[in-house]
Structure 1
Amino acid sequence: MQAMRSVTRGRDGYEQWCHDVRAICGRFESRAPRYLDDFAGHIALHRRPGLEFAQVATNAHSLAKTGHDTRAEDGLYYFLIYQRQGRSVLSQQGRQAMLDTGDLALIDSRLPSEFVYLADTQHVSVHLPCEALERRLRSPRPQLARTLAAASPMGTVLGGFVEQIAARHELFGEREGGALTDALLALLAPLADDSEHAGGRARDWARVAAYIDERLDEDLDPQDIARSCAVSVRSLYRLFEARDTTLGTYLRERRLACCAEALSTPAWQHESVTQIALRWGFKDSAHFSRSFKARYGMAPREWRHRPR
């Protein structure tokens, strides 16, 4: 079943094309070509049971989905973009993929993204359910906005496969649609797997955690931590986001944990509660006592003298 097709030209056609893009691909906003009367655009959504893809052609300057207009109802899909004609730049999560004819890249429809078209362009966007792809990965998420070149061996295979789906979709029946999507996921998963990047992040985290533990008594600044651990400040924050925490929360929790351990250790019994708090980076004893009680359910002195 073909759900929607739109071929539009000129100023009025541009508004219709923008409306149809939002209906098919989500809440994207377009930047018009320089001369709006010269606009030309085409978009079509094709659906078979188990298979969904869109064909887009335009001379518009760009399409963008920002954090403000991203909505869950846009669908839980990864879009596999196949550059059928022309050139474009695809951006997501601080990465850019330059796509020439025949190249491919993957984006997450749930996240902000941008397409900048460098010439009249055509692309195919295959809509892959997020859960179906993520089940096949070793890493939690796939690599996004990474160019898979048409000249590479797997780029040739995958691009040719998508081209045949787009060219011959009307010949596929109900059973073939799901089989084609499964085959596409099987081909894509090893290429999209972010396990190498995940390994790099694990090493980054190990350096950051060790650096912090050695300096809990210091005033730790994000810029200094990032510079000393050879990561960007943005990457530093992402390391903590991946663990559902923040740098400030992590520092407080580590300092409290070290204080709790010291208060329980005979070797530290000669040190006062205030001295232990200062040793692990708390500058205010009253603030330390409140934070400790909120975390462990009793005051530091009660913790020190609790039955063990």
Structure 2
Amino acid sequence: MSRGGGQELDRASHGGAEAAGGAFSQWTTDGIPAAERLDYWREDVLRRVEPRRALDTDRPFQASLRRISGTVGELVEHASDGLTAERTAARCARDDCDDIIIDLMLECTSACLEQQGSRRVRSGDIHVIDYARPSEMVRSRHRAIALILPRAQVCAVLGSDLSALAGRHFAGAGMAAVLGSHMRASLDNAPMLSATHRRLSVNAAVDMALAMLQAEQCEAAVTECFPQGFYAAATRLIEATCTDPSLTPDVVAARLGCSRAALYRTFALHGESVSAFIWSRRLDHARRMLASAAFSHLLISQIAFRCGFLEHPTFNRMFKRRYGMTPREARHSSRRAHGDAAGEPERPNEPRPGADHRRSREAQP
């Protein structure tokens, strides 16, 4: 991902041949002599960004790094004690690395990014860092995730002039929020995923990031350019918010910064309907709650309400159509499977929770 050839690649931002195919790699300072840890981190791990000094001088420096490679990008999680790190103009010229970084700060008490101005960084913030330009970062003990994008990929979307990108901040809403959630989930689940699924997860993050950058510049993203990224972003958004009864295709499109028609086309590529996907996720969520002992104290109508259904009869009808049994039958089937006979059947005319029984504005499939 660097323009330069023949140089040893940065372990933290270049997968190399061994990382092809969604490899998952980890580094840590554990086992390194305390006096050598910062040097090890500088010389063997973070060769593109140079740690200058540790801020926590009362204990040995501690750090860890995890990386997943994709087809054209990488996800890197970096966690360490407080430090000051920089990328000087001399280093930019020497290593010829010009990647674009989407940096998500997960946890940090205080941090500052210096690139084309000074910006304070808070937990949850997403910033763009241009490796072709000098930069400096001062961070207390922190955990952050970086999505590394080849410059050529970004230029293909935004044009050759990327000068306005360096240091750009994205509010934690809309596509940026979905991208951040996906980046975090990809690394949290990396050890359990196959190499193929890890690679696909990184590729989806790349598509989401390019769509986010495009939408920021053009006020609307061309979903046809990144159909997989938009589909992944939309499904993740729906899965995270499906229990909100006000969630509709219009709301999903607005949060992603695309038109409803573009959203429909994206789902159509997968043979799916946006509305049907929303209702399907609500039903899946309800079935899990019905099968869980943690929710056995709730009436079925309360579970329906918590899963985004405002009308109990509607929930019963859709549940039976989907699973071939009523919610009550599903609950008792689960209890029998777990050897739990406790609990009386719920009353046929149980009260509906909440005072508002409006039908959802979204048409049911």
Quick check: 2:50–2:86 contact (8 Å CA) kept in 1? Answer: yes
How big is each residue's C-alpha offset from its partner over 1:246-295, in whole Å with a ceiling of 9 and x where there is no partner?
xxxxxxxxxxxxxxxxxxxxxxxxxxxxxxxxxxxxxxxxxxxxxxxxxx
Residue 91 in structure 1 maps to residue 110 in structure 2: no
Residue 185 in structure 1 maps to residue 210 in structure 2: yes
Shift in alpha-carbon separation, 1:161–1:188, aligned structure 2, 3 A = farther
Shift in alpha-carbon separation, 1:42–1:174, aligned structure 2, 3 A = closer
Residue 65 in structure 1 maps to residue 87 in structure 2: yes
Quick check: 2:70–2:200 contact (8 Å CA) kept in 1? Answer: no
Q: Distance in 2 between matches of 1:175 and 1:120?
A: 31
Quick check: 1:80–1:127 contact (8 Å CA) kept in 2? Answer: yes
2:319 aligns to what? none
Figure out how many residues of one structure are paired with residues of the other and give that number: 189
Q: Identity rate of aligned residues, in percent?
A: 20
Residue 17 in structure 1 maps to residue 41 in structure 2: yes
Quick check: 1:4–1:45 contact (8 Å CA) kept in 2? Answer: yes
The one-letter code sitting in structure 1 at the alignment partner of 2:210 is: L
Q: How does 1:224-235 map to 2 (within 5 A)?
A: none
Q: Distance in 1 between matches of 2:78 and 2:127?
A: 15
2:129 to 107, 110, 121: 107
Greater strand proportion: 1
Shift in alpha-carbon separation, 1:18–1:139, aligned structure 2, 3 A = closer
SS in 2 for 1:75: coil
Q: Distance in 2 between matches of 1:59 and 1:173?
A: 28
Quick check: 2:113–2:135 contact (8 Å CA) kept in 1? Answer: yes
1:6 aligns to what? 28
Compute the TM-score of the two structures, normalised by the length of structure 2: 0.46
Residue 144 in structure 1 maps to residue 169 in structure 2: no
Q: How does 1:224-303 map to 2 (within 5 A)?
A: none
SS in 2 for 1:124: strand
Q: Distance in 2 between matches of 1:194 and 1:67?
A: 30
Q: Distance in 2 between matches of 1:161 and 1:173?
A: 12
1:128 to 128, 144, 149: 149
Larger Rg over CA atoms? 1
The one-letter code sitting in structure 1 at the alignment partner of 2:68 is: H
Residue 165 in structure 1 maps to residue 193 in structure 2: no
TM superposition shift of 1:102 = 1.0
Quick check: 1:103–1:155 contact (8 Å CA) kept in 2? Answer: no
Shift in alpha-carbon separation, 1:174–1:105, aligned structure 2, 3 A = closer
User: Could you list the runs of 5+ residues in structure 2 that have no partner in the other structure?
Assistant: 1-22, 220-365
Q: Distance in 1 between matches of 2:210 and 2:49?
A: 25
TM superposition shift of 1:126 = 0.8
1:45 to 63, 67, 71: 67
TM superposition shift of 1:123 = 0.6
SS in 1 for 2:77: strand
Shift in alpha-carbon separation, 1:176–1:105, aligned structure 2, 3 A = closer
TM superposition shift of 1:164 = 2.1
Quick check: 1:92–1:114 contact (8 Å CA) kept in 2? Answer: yes
Q: Distance in 1 between matches of 2:198 and 2:80?
A: 29
Compute the TM-score of the two structures, normalised by the length of structure 1: 0.54
Residue 31 in structure 1 maps to residue 53 in structure 2: yes
Quick check: 1:4–1:46 contact (8 Å CA) kept in 2? Answer: no
SS in 2 for 1:57: strand
2:103 aligns to what? 81
Q: Distance in 2 between matches of 1:194 and 1:96?
A: 25
Quick check: 1:79–1:128 contact (8 Å CA) kept in 2? Answer: yes
Q: Distance in 2 between matches of 1:71 and 1:126?
A: 22
Shift in alpha-carbon separation, 1:131–1:60, aligned structure 2, 3 A = same
Q: Distance in 2 between matches of 1:4 and 1:75?
A: 22
Quick check: 1:58–1:121 contact (8 Å CA) kept in 2? Answer: yes
Q: Distance in 2 between matches of 1:183 and 1:34?
A: 36
TM superposition shift of 1:50 = 2.9
